[in-house]
Amino acid sequence: MVEALRHWPSEGIPERPGAWLFTTARRKGLDKLRRDARYRDKLAVVAALPEAPPREPDDRLRLIFTCCHPALGREAQVALTLRAIAGLTTAEIARAFLLPEPTVAKRITRAKSKIQQSGIPYRVPEPEEMADRLDQVLTVIYLVFNEGYVTTAGPEPLRRDLARDAEWLAGLLARLMPEEPEVMGLLSLIRIHLARWPARVDAEGRLVLLEDQDRSRWDQREIGEAVALLERAAAHGHSGRYQIEAAIAAVHAEAPSWAETDWEQLVALYGLLAVLDRSPVVLLNRAVAVAQVEGAQVALGQVDSLGSRLDGYYLFHATRAELLRRLGRMKEAGEAAERAGALTTNQAERALIGLRAATARS
């Protein structure tokens, strides 16, 4: 009948429509039988093939687990892995941890010596051993992604290769540990950020702030799949840092605009994250959300309370600059922006901060 609808309008109705239909049906039936027979023959050939050996995990993942052996201290594990896996310089790692470069260099040297002296094996551990190293491995993959998302040095504002490497490693880890919610959380977090990647840089290579991004350029299909992965993780009932961070990213990604973002939910999520991670950077990010709910003055008080711990961090001063600008304290805003620009090593971020400093001064 389908064939008749295709052919008869242009070719005309045949003299014996019933015979035409019967002949067409018979021919199509025989074609299907032949295809089925060929399919069965091919299945028999495939079944006779020798079993393929299991695919070895990527060397980088083996190396990550080696560097994150429990015999090493946590700080040394992460620093050494970033040096060995991502190829980050000691200076880049020091900036990621807000530490002096000589401190990081000593950690890496000691960790290398410990691996050699202890004979730590180069392998992915057995499933029962993975839990002891999982947190450090997730930290490393996340820091690799962060270095790709906003580079701390070099001429390029972003490093897509590092970001995609981090996504690939997180995906490989998810296949090794398919029921681990924090692995799913990290993979979801990375994919939500990558889905927004096309709108992060303009045609001239300048960074675009989240509030100014063209959200029509975000990959909504990728965002939807990443959120579904996060929901699978949440169904396990064991919330962790990466699931919360992914939830924060999802709130931003699902908002139709900056103004329509659910800021109260973000304040609550950052509060949960602060319970698990008392890093002053988490509290700084929470203050940014607080500014949208309770106002710039309240947020500025929270930011200023972090000054003793974050004075060398450029985003601390950039955040202060924005809050001061909103409060009309333009001279102080310009000074804070200049301080932020002097501390950042990413040229695109420095240009963006410089533009805001010039705006504040004017």
Q: Where are the domains of the chain?
A: 269-362
DSSP letters for 38-60:
HHHHHHHHHHHSPPPPPPPPPHH
pLDDT score for 48: 58
Query: Dihedrals φ, ψ of 201, to 5°?
Result: -130, 135
State the chain's mean pLDDT as an integer: 84
Summarize pLDDT for 38-61 with one digit per residue, the tens. 656 655 654 554 544 444 455 767
Question: Which residue reads 């710039």 in tokens?
Answer: 296
Q: What is the CATH number of domain 269-362?
A: 1.25.40.10
Query: What is the C-alpha separation between 175 and 355, in angstroms, rounded?
Result: 44
pLDDT tens figures, 174-192: 988 888 999 999 999 999 9
Task: Give the DSSP letter of residue 201.
Answer: B
